[in-house]
Amino acid sequence: MKIAMWSGPRNLSTAMMYAFAARPDFAVWDEPFYAPYLAATGLSHPMRDSILAQHETDPKEVAARCLDPDTGDKPHFYMKHMPHHMVDGMPIDWAATCVNVHLIRHPARVIASYGAKRETITVDDIGYRQQAALFDRIGGHVIDSSDIRTDPEKALRGLCRAIDLPFEDAMLQWPAGGHPDDGVWAAHWYNAVHQSTGFAGPEGDLPMVQPQHEELFNNALPHYLKLKAVCLPL
Whether the CB-CB separation of 38 and 84 falls below 8 Å is answered with no
Asked if pLDDT for residue 196 goes beyond 90, the answer is: yes
- The model's confidence at residue 125, banded by pLDDT at 50, 70 and 90, is confident
- Please report, as a single letter, which amino acid is at residue 42: G
- Please report, as a single letter, which amino acid is at residue 35: A
pLDDT given for residue 105 in this prediction: 95
- pLDDT tens readout for residues 26-39: 999 999 999 999 99
Of the candidates 186, 210, 203, 199, the one whose C-alpha atom is nearest the C-alpha of residue 112 is 210
**Planar angle of CA 176, 159, 201, nearest 5 degrees:** 45
| Mean of pLDDT values over 206-226 | 93
What is the distance between the alpha carbons of residues 86 and 153, in angstroms, rounded to a whole number? Answer: 31
- Torsion over CA: 166, 26, 162, 176 (sign): positive
- The model's confidence at residue 118, banded by pLDDT at 50, 70 and 90, is low
Percentage of the chain exceeding pLDDT 90: 83
b/e for 71-102, b at 16 or more Cβ within 10 A? eeebebbbbbbbbbbbeeeebeebbeebbbbb
Q: For helices 128-138 and 214-228, what crossing angle results, to 10°?
A: 20
What is the distance between the alpha carbons of residues 45 and 114, in angstroms, rounded to a whole number? Answer: 13
Answer yes or no: pTM beyond 0.85: yes
Query: Taking the CA of residue 76 as centre, how many other CA atoms within 13 Å lie in the half-sphere pointing to its CB?
Result: 18
- pLDDT tens readout for residues 60-110: 999 999 999 999 999 999 999 999 999 999 999 999 999 999 999 999 999
Task: Enumerate the β-bridge partners of residue 78.
Answer: 3, 28
